[in-house]
Amino acid sequence: MWWLYRKGPSGFAGASTAEEVTAGIDGRGLVAVITGASRGIGRETARVLALRGVRVVMAVRDVSAGVRAKEAIQAEIRGGAELDVLELDLSSMASVRRFAAEFASLSLPLNILINNAGVMARDCTRSPDGLELHFATNHIGHFLLTNLLLENMKSACRDSGVEGRIVNVSSSGHIMTYPEGICFDKVHDPSGFNSLIAYGQSKLANILHMNELSRILKDEGVNISANTVHPGVIVTSLFRNRTIVSAPMNTVGRIISRSVQQGAATTCYVAMHPQVQGITGKYFGNCNIANTSSQAVDAELAKKLSNFSLQIVSS
């Protein structure tokens, strides 16, 4: 695991922890929304941002688990931590819209949006809206959420002069997908289903989403960055429904995987560190800008996906 300790231009490495990469950063006055914040790297991201003074809105599917996580974080952080728990089921567009309305009722500005939650299913499953579950949850839910919260973020960055930051948590850009990247017909008709390919194309969509959003925001002259991060190999509850994956991961996890504290580092770095100021449309791994696949940087595919996603959330 020597490669995890090799530092990049940022001065950090794969072995760096979320606390280490945010040391000395003052997040007081900032507000962040983090999806999937009740466990795993989402919970650690919420803890560390709250530790740095950020008010964190924990968007969770299981509210009771979210409340337990909130209480544990508040008990740990001396001087208190500002956290709110709101229900969000990313597989349901109705739930995403309810969350956005509830967040609006808090009358808070939004400075940081971290689209962290994800699902890896074993079987072919449709979302409440009739979409393939991976695509619905990992991409469409976050796409709609981002769109619904974007005006708030634009206002916040204009009023405060502080750069807004949107972070998508994805997998490697070199992931297993259909030859054409995003196979749009599989979104509605998941015949010939392969769960790893379905998961892979949803994670590719996360990267393309940020690339296209970054282009749009730059064209509009808006001071909001949009980037994607890869947390590294971490054994989390994401694999709980994948027996064929979880078994070997649990066996070799001690050798190849990193801790949750290390896994949340790149997310926290991109969300908060001054070094990332003004950097947008990039893919980060080990707290440094990283290379990804040719599909992940395909501008035309990104536009096609954006238009397709807009049609879905508008229908």
Higher pLDDT, 7 or 34: 34
**What is the pLDDT confidence band of residue 256, given thresholds at 50, 70 and 90?**
low
CA distances from 102 to 63, 70, 97, 105, 224 (A): 14, 18, 9, 5, 23
By the 10 Å C-beta count (0-12 exposed, 13-18 middle, 19+ buried), 80 is classed as exposed
Q: What would the two tokens of residue 28 be?
A: 């007081």
pTM of model > 0.85: yes
Tens digits of residue pLDDT in 102-126: 999 999 999 999 999 999 988 889 9
What b/e string do you get for 232-250 counting C-beta neighbours within 10 Å, with b at 16 or more? bebbbebbeebeebbeebe
- CA gyration radius for the chain? 18
Q: Is the pLDDT of residue 263 over 70?
A: yes
**CB neighbour class for 184 (10 Å; exposed up to 12, middle 13-18, buried from 19):** middle
Closest to 90 (Cα-Cα) out of 57, 53, 129? 129
Query: What's the pLDDT at 49?
Result: 98
With a pLDDT cut of 90, the percent of the chain lying above it is 79
Largest CA distance in the chain: 54
CATH classification at residue 134? 3.40.50.720
- Say which DSSP state 173 is in: S
User: In the prediction, which pLDDT does 239 show?
Assistant: 45
| Overall number of domains in the chain | 1
| Residue of 5, 178, 199, 269 marked catalytic | 199
Q: Which residue has the higher pLDDT, 273 or 252?
A: 273
Residue 251 has pLDDT above 80, yes or no: no
Which residue type occupies 244? I
Show the domain range for 98.
Answer: 2-314
Q: What is the residue whose two structure tokens read 């040391």? A: 23
What pLDDT score does 2 carry? 54
Greater confidence (250 vs 109) lies with: 109
pLDDT in tens, 64-91: 999 999 999 999 998 889 999 999 999 9
Average pLDDT, the chain: 91
Provide CB contacts within 8 A for 311, sequence distance 6+: none
pLDDT digits (tens, 9 = 90+) for 186-239: 888 777 789 999 999 999 999 999 999 999 999 999 999 999 999 987 755 554
pLDDT value at position 190? 75
199 classed as catalytic: yes
